[in-house]
Amino acid sequence: MSRAIIFDVDGTLSETEETHRRAFNRAFEQAGLAWRWDQALYERLLAVTGGKERIRYFIDDFDAAGVPPGDVDAFIRSLHAAKTIAYTDMVSGGEVELRPGIRELISDAQSRGFRLAIATTTTPANVDALLGVTLGGCDAFEVICAGDSVAHKTPAPDVYELALEILQLDAAACVALEDSRNGLLSSVAAGIPTVVTPGIYTRGQDFSEAALVIDDLAAQDFSAIYALTAPAA
């Protein structure tokens, strides 16, 4: 009787978005760009999932100053690679921690026989850095679907559908844990009952499609989360 919990990463496992924002700004400064993403702007930019996609959106809709002539896609890839290095350095330096209740949920779910997976649009390097610092590695998670492993990022369901395929489970045997509307739309489109734990950048978003919204995981016994799954034969 197999059941699984599929976790998003940024904003869900950890309040990493602020670290991402500062890492973007460090990469911009290193590239000699005058761009600076403050919190208000970054909240708007988070409507676009994926770091490279977010940079492209900023160039197209906000500020193209400093973009060199030629291959813009190559410029974006290079800039994003620098940002990933900056982010992983920050994470390795201890600048992030798990959100309250996450460590306990992982441990309790494992003790009850749940399989654990990750479905995220962030890069594998970012996932490895976060889990290495906070959990000592990725061993708790049987499946990790990250970065460009799918053609379409959230709110498309691709990354969750890939996780289900690898787990070889029906959506009804799983529950997803998300923090944003885009993530919620992705998991729900894949047919997975979803629990939302809003983060600092996503409070106030529309979570009407969620099976459950929990503001504070640390105050839960997790039974309501487990009850959303139907054991697979």
For every residue of 142-205, DSSP letters joined together read: SEEE-TTSSSS-TTSSHHHHHHHHHHT--GGGEEEEESSHHHHHHHHHTT--EEE---TTTTTS
Distance of CA 17 to the CA centre of its chain: 9
CATH superfamily of 17-92: Putative phosphatase; domain 2 (1.10.150.240)
Query: Which residues of the chain form CATH 3.40.50.1000?
Result: 4-15+97-226
Active site residue 8: yes
pLDDT at 233: 56
Buried b (16+ CB within 10 A) or exposed e, 199-212: bebbeebebeebbb
pLDDT by position in tens, the chain (length 233): 699 999 999 999 999 999 999 999 999 999 999 999 999 999 999 999 999 999 999 999 999 999 998 899 999 999 999 999 999 999 999 999 999 999 999 999 999 999 999 999 898 999 999 999 999 999 999 999 997 889 999 999 999 999 999 999 999 999 999 999 999 999 999 999 999 999 999 999 999 999 999 999 998 889 999 999 987 65
Structure tokens, 51: 């770091």
Closest CA to 117 of 172, 158, 163: 163
User: How far is it, in rounded angstroms, from Cα 186 to Cα 58?
Assistant: 23
Query: Which residues of the chain form CATH 1.10.150.240?
Result: 17-92
pLDDT at 230: 83
pLDDT at 195: 98
Cis peptide before 124 (omega within 30 of 0): no
Could you report the per-residue pLDDT of 86-123, keeping only the tens digit for each? Answer: 999 999 999 999 999 999 999 999 999 999 999 998 98
- Of 10, 38, 73, 206, which residue is the catalytic one? 10
pLDDT at 219: 83
Active site residue 10: yes
Cβ(115)–Cβ(3) under 8 Å?
yes
Give how far Cα 153 sits from Cα of 37, 43, 122, 149, Å. 22, 18, 10, 9
Q: Between 3.40.50.300, 3.10.450.710, 3.40.50.1000, 3.30.70.20, what CATH number should domain 4-15+97-226 receive?
A: 3.40.50.1000
